[in-house]
C-alpha cells in the first residue's frame, strides 16, 4: 500500500524564490491497485513520485510504501520499488542485458533469478532482438523499453512510473499498458503519472487529480463521474482543474525541475 | 564491499568502451608524449646545434690566442669580422687589452656562453703555465707567491648523479601525470548526472558509500593505468634509441625491491588522495564543463607543490604531511637513498586520512537531494 500524509515539498529556488511543489497531499493506493496521478505540467506529480522513490525528502508530512516511511526507512523502500521516469536515461555503453545484470546484482538477486526475470521481460517488451546491443544507437522507444526493463528486472512489489509511455510508439505504449495491467493482476501496487487520459481510464483503479500541489479529486472513474456529473475523463479533469490553459498553470515551465 | 566492486566494474566497463577516451589516452601516452619528450631529449642531435663549431674572431696580431685556439675542438677561428658576419650566426670576439683578455659573447645564446667558458679555461691554463715557467727561471716555485689553490672535486659517481636526476624528475612527472589523468576521469563522477542515469542508481539498494568508493576506485585505476601507459611509451621510445628522459642511462642504477615498495606505497596514497578530490568536485558539479572549471586549478596547485622536488633544501618533518608536496619529497628521498620510514608513513597516512575525509564529503553530497536536483 502507498499513502501520503500531509505531504509537503517546498523548494527554495534562486530564480523563483519559494516554490510550493506539493502542498499537504493525502493520497492512498491500496495494495495490488493501480493509481493514476493526473495533472498539468508543474502540478506536483513528479515531485510526489520522487518523494515516494526516496530521491527527495519531504519538507513536511510523510509518505509510506508498505508502511515504510520515506523519511526513516529508505533502504527498506528501495528494496520494494522499481522506478521508471521519463527523465531517466540508460547507460549508453552497455547493453540492456548488462544493465539488467548490473541492477539485479546491486539488488542482491542471483544470476539465475535475473535470467528468469529477463526472459519474461524481454519477451513481453519484444526486446530479445536488441538485448545484446549497446544502447547508444537505440531509438527513443528502445531506450524507454530498456528503462522499463531495468525497473522490472528486480521484480519489485511496488512500481512508481513517471510518464512511463512518454516517447513510445503506439504499439509499445500499448504493450507497456498491457504489462501494467498484468503486473496489477500479479498483485503489484502501481502508481503512475500520465498526461494520456486513456491510459488512466483503462488502467487505473483509482485516479487522483493533482493541481498546484494539492489533490483536488480522488476516486474510481465511476466515483469521479458521479462527483463531476461528466462521463468523459477529459471533461472530469477540466471540471476539477478549471478551464485555464495549461501554460498558465506553470508559466516558468518548471515541471522538469520541480514538478 | 561487493556492491562497491559492482559499481567499480561498471565504471571501468563504461570507460574502456569510450572509444574517444581510450584512443585519446593511447595516442597521448604511447605516441604524442614520448615523441615530445624525445624531441626535447634529442633537440641537440636533431638541430645539430651542439656539433656545429662556434665562430671566434681573434685580432690579427694576437699570436698566443691564435696558436692556442686554432686547433681547439668546436671553434672556427676568424681573423676578420667581415668573414664571420656572412654566416649570419652569433659569434665570439676575443680582444686583448694590455694584460687582460676579454671574450665578448651573447648571454642569451647558451652555446656561445659555454664555448666562452672553454676559451677562458684554455687561456687560464696558458696563463698559469707561463707564470710557473717564469718563476722556475728565477729558481722559485708557485707556492712562493701562490700558497694554495682551491678546487672542488665531485666525488659523486655516475649512479649518484642518476639518483639525483631521477629524484628530481620522477616525482614531478608522476604527480603531473596522475593529476592530469585523474582529471580526465572526472566523467566517472559527473557523467551520470549529465546523462540522467544517476537516479536509477540512487533508487537501488546500493549504499551511497559504495557508489562513491566504486567511482573513486575507478578514477584511481584510470589515472594509474593511463600514467603507466605513458611510462611504457617512454620505455618503448628509449628502446628505439631515443633519449626520452635525460638520465645517465648506462650508470647501472637500478631500484631495489625495497625502493619499489616505497614508491608503490607513495604513489598509491597519492592516487587515492587525488581521485577523492576529483570525485568530490565531480559530485558537486552538474556538468562535465562545470567539473572542468573546478578541477583545472588542481593541476596548477599540483605543479606548484611538485616542483619542490627540484629544491636542494632539507625540509622539516611537518612538510611531509602536506599532500603532493610530501609525496614529491618522499619519492625524491627514495631515489636519493635517504629514505625515512617516518617521513613516508607521515605522507602516506596523510593521504589516506584525507582520502577518507574527502570520500565522506562525497557521500554526504550523495545523501542530499541536491546531488540530483540542485535548485
Nearest-CB residue to A91 (from B197, B206, B372): B197
Task: Check if B108 contacts A (Cβ < 8 Å).
Answer: no
Q: By mean pLDDT, which of A70-74, A141-145, B147-151, B338-342 is the weakest?
A: B147-151
Give residue A68's pLDDT: 95
Provide the number of CB pairs (under 8 Å) joining chain A to chain B: 74
A130-154 pLDDT tens trace? 999 999 988 877 888 899 899 999 9
pLDDT of residue B350 exceeding 90, the answer is yes
pLDDT at residue number A230 = 79
- How much is the CA Rg of chain B, to the nearest whole Å? 29
Region of B168 please: left (phi>0), alpha (psi -120 to 50) or beta.
alpha
**pLDDT higher than threshold 80 for residue B65:** yes
Output the pLDDT for position A256: 40
Contact of B324 with B175, CB cutoff 8 Å: yes
Q: A interface mutation test: which of B5, B200, B367, B370 has the most A CBs within 10 A?
A: B200
Residue B312 pLDDT level (bands cut at 50, 70, 90)? confident
* pLDDT band (50, 70, 90) for residue B284: very high
Q: List the beta bridge partners of residue A69.
A: A64
Handedness of CA B133, B134, B138, B140 (dihedral sign): negative
Q: What digits encode the pLDDT tens for the residues B232-279?
A: 877 777 777 666 555 445 555 667 888 888 988 999 999 999 999 999
pLDDT of the residue at B112? 87
Asked if B373 lies within 8 A of A257 by C-beta distance, the reply is yes
DSSP H stretches of helix in chain A: 45-52, 74-80, 96-106, 111-124, 140-152, 170-185, 197-203, 221-228, 233-241, 246-249
Q: Which of residues 7-26 of B touch A (CB under 8 A)?
A: 7, 10, 13-14, 17-18
Hey, is the C-beta of B206 within 8 angstroms of any chain A C-beta? yes
ipTM: 0.86
pLDDT in tens, B127-149: 888 988 998 898 888 877 777 77
Cross-chain residue pair B197–A90, CB shorter than 8 Å: yes
Residues in A lying within 8 Å of B, measured between beta carbons: 11-14, 50, 53-57, 75, 78-79, 81, 83, 85, 87-94, 98, 102-103, 105-108, 134, 147, 150-151, 257-258
The set of residues, in sequence order, having a beta carbon less than 8 Å from that of A102 and lying 6+ positions away, is: A91, A94, B6, B10
Q: Which of A25, A31, A26 is nearest to A9 (CA)?
A: A25
pLDDT tier for residue A190 given thresholds of 50, 70 and 90: very high
| Nearest residue of B to residue A101, measured between CA atoms | B6
Residue A211 and residue A198: Cα distance in Å, rounded? Answer: 19
Range scoring the smallest mean pLDDT among B221-225, B277-281, B354-358: B221-225
- pLDDT of A249 higher than 90: no
Least confident of A71-75, A184-188, B88-92: B88-92
- Give the chain B residue nearest A95 (alpha carbons): B14
Q: How far apart are CA B345 and CA B364, in angstroms?
A: 28
Amino acid at each position: 500500500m502507498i499513502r501520503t500524509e500531509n505531504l509537503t515539498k517546498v523548494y527554495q529556488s534562486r530564480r523563483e524564490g519559494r516554490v510550493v511543489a506539493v502542498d499537504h497531499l493525502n493520497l492512498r493506493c491500496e495494495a495490488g491497485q493501480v493509481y493514476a496521478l493526473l495533472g498539468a505540467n508543474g502540478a506536483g506529480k513528479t515531485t510526489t513520485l520522487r518523494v515516494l522513490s526516496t530521491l527527495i525528502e519531504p519538507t513536511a508530512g510523510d509518505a509510506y510504501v508498505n508502511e515504510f516511511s520515506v523519511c526513516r526507512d529508505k533502504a527498506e523502500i528501495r528494496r520494494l520499488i522499481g522506478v521508471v521516469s521519463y527523465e531517466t536515461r540508460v547507460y549508453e555503453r552497455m547493453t540492456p542485458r548488462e544493465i539488467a545484470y548490473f541492477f539485479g546484482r546491486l539488488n542482491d538477486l542471483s544470476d539465475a533469478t535475473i535470467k528468469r526475470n529477463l526472459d519474461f521481460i524481454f519477451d513481453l517488451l519484444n526486446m530479445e532482438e536488441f538485448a545484446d546491443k549497446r544502447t547508444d544507437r537505440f531509438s527513443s522507444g528502445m531506450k524507454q523499453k530498456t528503462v522499463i526493463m531495468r525497473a522490472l528486472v528486480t521484480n519489485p512489489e511496488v512500481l512508481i512510473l513517471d510518464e512511463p509511455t512518454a516517447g513510445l510508439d503506439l504499439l509499445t505504449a500499448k504493450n507497456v499498458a498491457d504489462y501494467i495491467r498484468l503486473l496489477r493482476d500479479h498483485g503489484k501496487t502501481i502508481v503512475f503519472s500520465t498526461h494520456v487520459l486513456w491510459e488512466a481510464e483503462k488502467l487505473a483503479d483509482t485516479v487522483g487529480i493533482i493541481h498546484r500541489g494539492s489533490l483536488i479529486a480522488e476516486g474510481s472513474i465511476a466515483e469521479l463521474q458521479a462527483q463531476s456529473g461528466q462521463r468523459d475523463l477529459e471533461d472530469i479533469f477540466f471540471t476539477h482543474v478549471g478551464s485555464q490553459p495549461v501554460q498558465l498553470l506553470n508559466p516558468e515551465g518548471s515541471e522538469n525541475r520541480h514538478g | 564491499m561487493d556492491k562497491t566492486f559492482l559499481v567499480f566494474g561498471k565504471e571501468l566497463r563504461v570507460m574502456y568502451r569510450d572509444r574517444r577516451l581510450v584512443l585519446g589516452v593511447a595516442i597521448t601516452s604511447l605516441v604524442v608524449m614520448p615523441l615530445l619528450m624525445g624531441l626535447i631529449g634529442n633537440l641537440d642531435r636533431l638541430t645539430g646545434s651542439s656539433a656545429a663549431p662556434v665562430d671566434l674572431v681573434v685580432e690579427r696580431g694576437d699570436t698566443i690566442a691564435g696558436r692556442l685556439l686554432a686547433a681547439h675542438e668546436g671553434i672556427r677561428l676568424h681573423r676578420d669580422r667581415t668573414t664571420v658576419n656572412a654566416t649570419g650566426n652569433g659569434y665570439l670576439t676575443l680582444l686583448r687589452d694590455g694584460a687582460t683578455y676579454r671574450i665578448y659573447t651573447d648571454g642569451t645564446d647558451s652555446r656561445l656562453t659555454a664555448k666562452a667558458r672553454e676559451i677562458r679555461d684554455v687561456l687560464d691554463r696558458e696563463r698559469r703555465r707561463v707564470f710557473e715557467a717564469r718563476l722556475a727561471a728565477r729558481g722559485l716555485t708557485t707556492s712562493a707567491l701562490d700558497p694554495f689553490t682551491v678546487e672542488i672535486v665531485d666525488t659523486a659517481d655516475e649512479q649518484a648523479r642518476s639518483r639525483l636526476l631521477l629524484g628530481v624528475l620522477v616525482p614531478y612527472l608522476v604527480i603531473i601525470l596522475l593529476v592530469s589523468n585523474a582529471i580526465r576521469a572526472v566523467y566517472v563522477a559527473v557523467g551520470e548526472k549529465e546523462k540522467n542515469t544517476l537516479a536509477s542508481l540512487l533508487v537501488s539498494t546500493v549504499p551511497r558509500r559504495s557508489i562513491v568508493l566504486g567511482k573513486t576506485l575507478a578514477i584511481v585505476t584510470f589515472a594509474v593505468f593511463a600514467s603507466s601507459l605513458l611510462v611504457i611509451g617512454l620505455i618503448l621510445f628509449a628502446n628505439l634509441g631515443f633519449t626520452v628522459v635525460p638520465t645517465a642511462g648506462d650508470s647501472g642504477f637500478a631500484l631495489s625491491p625495497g625502493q619499489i615498495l616505497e614508491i608503490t606505497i607513495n604513489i598509491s596514497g597519492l592516487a587515492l588522495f587525488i581521485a577523492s578530490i576529483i570525485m568530490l568536485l565531480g559530485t558537486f558539479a552538474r556538468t562535465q564543463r562545470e567539473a572542468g572549471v573546478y578541477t583545472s586549478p588542481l593541476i596548477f596547485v599540483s605543479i606548484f607543490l611538485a616542483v619542490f622536488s627540484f629544491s636542494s633544501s632539507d625540509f622539516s618533518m611537518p612538510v611531509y604531511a602536506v599532500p603532493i608536496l610530501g609525496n614529491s619529497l618522499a619519492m625524491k628521498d627514495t631515489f636519493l637513498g635517504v629514505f625515512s620510514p617516518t617521513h613516508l608513513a607521515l605522507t602516506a597516512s596523510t593521504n589516506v586520512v584525507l582520502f577518507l575525509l574527502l570520500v565522506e564529503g562525497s557521500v554526504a553530497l550523495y545523501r542530499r537531494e541536491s546531488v540530483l536536483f540542485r535548485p
